[in-house]
Amino acid sequence: MQLKMFVLSGAAVVFWLAPLTALDKKVGWHKSIQGISLCIATACAVTAGNIARRLSEQAEIEAIKTRAITADVVDEIATSAYISQQQRQQEAEAILNPVEHLERALALTCDEGEDSERSLNEQSDQLAKTYTERSENDKAERALQLKAKGWGKAKIILEVWGVSKGGSPKYKAAEAEYKRLVEE
Amino acid sequence: MRAAYLANYFITGCAASSLLGWIASLHPMSARAIAFLAAATFILWGLCWLLDFSVSGWLKISVQNLQALLLAVLAMVLIGAGVFLCS
């Protein structure tokens, strides 16, 4: 297509200039050839211009497509990075669970006596229960917020529980918890 | 590619101007007709310069683009007619 355009452009210039400079206007058939060649030059230039315009529009569309694909890829990378960051954060929170810390501290200091051990165990259980309730409340609140935003179930479970969709026991447990919390 | 299509349309204008000159050289009546056409075009061209803001709004192009178009038209006519007259 490009070759055709360049050939037509060259032909237009040649048909425009060559007969005018090479032929004599006073000779009848020379003048006729000049007129014909000028008509041909105009037609060639119009055709070449139309082809070039079409190619230019196609190039613009291709550029838009390339930009859209690049934006999609960047968005996908950003989303996956965000999800992996959330998963790492949840794992770190699970590791740094305050209940476990307390239990560890209690285990270190529980040598003092049976009574104190019992009372500390009760305190620990109470704290664990409170923490679980708070965590559940937080999860329920977050899940409801996301649901109100129009998020789907699988996406909410991935966001709040950090479990991707599938038939794994973790996902089933998270799904059951989601149903329980949201339906409450 | 945009430059290529603008250049091709410019060559079209030049060749068309030469063709009009050639038509004008065929007969005195055709010369008068072409002279009338040239005069009308020149008046229209001058009006476009004077009413550039209105014309650009009507054509939905910027004023700079309209001025560039008018200059290109002038250049096409001058080059086309000049090539025909000087050959």
A150-A156-A158-A163 Cα dihedral, nearest 10 degrees: -150
Mean pLDDT of B14-29: 90
Look at chain B and report how many structural domains it folds into.
Answer: 1
Q: Is A3 on the interface with B (CB under 8 A)?
A: no
Dist. CA A90–CA A163, nearest whole Å = 11
Q: Is A107 on the interface with B (CB under 8 A)?
A: no
Q: Chain-wide mean pLDDT for chain B? A: 90
pLDDT score for A100 = 67
At residue B10 the predicted structure's pLDDT band, cuts being 50, 70 and 90, is very high
A113 vs A155: which has the higher pLDDT? A155
Q: Is B27 on the interface with A (CB under 8 A)?
A: no
Q: Both tokens of residue B29?
A: 């009546």
A68 vs A165: which has the higher pLDDT? A68
Q: Are A6 and A55 in contact (CB under 8 A)?
A: no
Nearest to A13 among B11, B23, B84 (CB): B11
ipTM over 0.90: no
Q: Are B11 and A13 in contact (CB under 8 A)?
A: yes
Please list, in sequence order, all residues whose beta carbon lies within 8 angstroms of the beta carbon of residue A97, skipping any fewer than 6 positions away. Answer: A131
Contacts of A34 in chain B (CB under 8 A): 22
Q: Both tokens of residue A123?
A: 């305190």
Dist. CA B87–CA B84, nearest whole Å = 5
The parent domain of residue B42 ranges over 2-86
Say if residue A115's pLDDT is above 70: no
Inspect the interface and report whether the beta carbons of A9 and B4 lie closer than 8 Å.
yes
Nearest to B8 among A34, A38, A48 (CB): A48
* Residue carrying structure tokens 């037509």: A8
Say if residue A120's pLDDT is above 80: no
* Residue of chain B nearest A50, judged by CA positions: B5
Domains of chain A by residue range: 1-96
At residue A22 the predicted structure's pLDDT band, cuts being 50, 70 and 90, is confident
DSSP for A102-122? HHHHHHHHGGG-HHHHHHHHH
Inspect the interface and report whether the beta carbons of B19 and A20 lie closer than 8 Å.
no
* Residue of chain B nearest A6, judged by CA positions: B4
pLDDT score for A148 = 85
Inspect the interface and report whether the beta carbons of A25 and B25 lie closer than 8 Å.
yes
| Stretch among A56-65, A93-102, A175-184, B69-78 having the lowest mean pLDDT | A93-102
Q: Chain-wide mean pLDDT for chain A? A: 83
Q: Is A13 on the interface with B (CB under 8 A)?
A: yes
Nearest to B5 among A13, A17, A53 (CB): A53
Mean pLDDT of B51-57: 88
Percent of chain A exceeding pLDDT 70 equals 89
At residue A109 the predicted structure's pLDDT band, cuts being 50, 70 and 90, is low
Mean pLDDT of A153-172: 83
Nearest to B87 among A20, A48, A49 (CB): A20
Residue from A53, A55, A61, A62 whose CB has the most chain B CBs within 10 Å, to mutate: A53
